[in-house]
Amino acid sequence: MAKQNQKILLVDDEPDILELLKYNLSKEGYEVKTASDGIKGVEIAKGFIPDLIILDIMMPKQDGVETCRQMREVPELANAFVIFLTARSEEYSEVAAFDMGADDYITKPIKPRALVSRINALFRRESKKKKESHKVELGDLIIDRSSYTVISGEEKINLPKKEFELLYFLAQNPGKVFSRDELLQNIWGTDVYVLARTVDVHIRKVREKIGEGYISTVKGVGYKFDMN
């Protein structure tokens, strides 16, 4: 996908940050729209359908985590990348962001060139994954990476991007046990620091949606996809 076709929505209550990031991302070739609060961000996102959403956490009217939750409920936005920007460095804020399906978490002050580099890398990884896409069919479960769909029997199950990637990765390697660190590296990448508990939260959410019989916990080691 050419950059000219990739759309980014910036949501932040600081006008200087919006202007700075919009300038740098537009110069890079991305189509960019902005919103100054979470409520407006959700409204714009529904019509714009961005490929990437960059959200400040602390905003008036509605914080970034709640804004992300509302956006994820829109089917067309379920698989958009999400990067959180924040001046807060507390662990609980980071945990809340990744539990909501964030792809990255960046603390302010922002270095525009570094941010652009991380965004470019994010889209490159996605492009590479799409070229390698295919269906995984195990029992009555069909996992289609090209369309981000999961079908169990005759039921279509909607999973946010990170939950889908986790399920797809495990299903590609049935019976093989992966540690939390290995799953973090393969799903979130080596350039993003994510807490190990994030894996546990995503596994729990996947199990709630597809059932308990597919992903097994290997105590003290990690997780595996198990058809038994």
* Cβ–Cβ under 8 Å, residues 28 and 71: no
**Whether the predicted pLDDT of 69 surpasses 80:** yes
CA–CA dist 192, 213 (Å, integer): 30
Looking at the fold, whether 13 and 32 belong to one and the same domain comes out as yes
Same domain for 120 and 154: no
Looking at per-residue pLDDT, the higher value among 35 and 220 belongs to 35
Given this model, what pLDDT does residue 85 score?
85
Q: Whole-angstrom Cα distance, residue 71 to residue 208?
A: 20
Q: Supply the range of the domain harboring residue 121.
A: 3-130
- Judged against a pLDDT cut of 70, whether residue 78 lies above it is answered with yes
Residue type, 72: R
Q: Taking each helix axis as running N to C, give the angle between helix 91-99 and helix 197-210, from 0 to 180 degrees, rounded to the nearest 10.
A: 30
Instruction: Take residue 109 and report the two structure tokens written for it.
Output: 């002050």
77 pLDDT above the threshold of 50: yes
Please state, for a pLDDT cut of 90, what percent of the chain lies above it.
37
Asked if 126 and 139 sit in the same domain, the reply is no
Residue at 153: amino acid letter: G
pLDDT reported for residue 131: 61
pLDDT in tens, 162-190: 889 899 999 988 889 999 989 988 888 76
Residue 198 and residue 154 share a domain: yes
Domain end point (choices 130, 164, 182): 130
Strand 52-56 and strand 7-11: the pairing is parallel
What average pLDDT does the segment 20-33 reach? 94
Please say which residue of 71, 97, 130 terminates a domain. 130
- Is the backbone peptide bond immediately before 50 cis, with ω within 30 degrees of 0? no
Band the pLDDT of 60: cuts 50, 70, 90: confident
Q: State the chain's mean pLDDT as an integer.
A: 85
d(CA 107, CA 146): 32
pTM: 0.67
- What's the rounded Cα separation, in Å, for the pair 215 and 2? 36
Shared-domain flag, residues 111 and 160: no
Most confident of 130-139, 194-203, 214-223: 214-223
Based on the fold, state whether residues 125 and 61 are members of the same structural domain. Answer: yes
* E-strand stretches of the chain: 7-11, 31-35, 52-56, 81-86, 104-107, 135-138, 141-144, 149-152, 155-157, 178-179, 215-218, 222-225
pLDDT of residue 189: 77
Check whether residue 116 and residue 206 sit in a common domain.
no
Taking the C-alpha atoms of residue 213 and residue 227, their distance in angstroms, rounded to an integer, is 7
- Domain end point (choices 78, 96, 130): 130
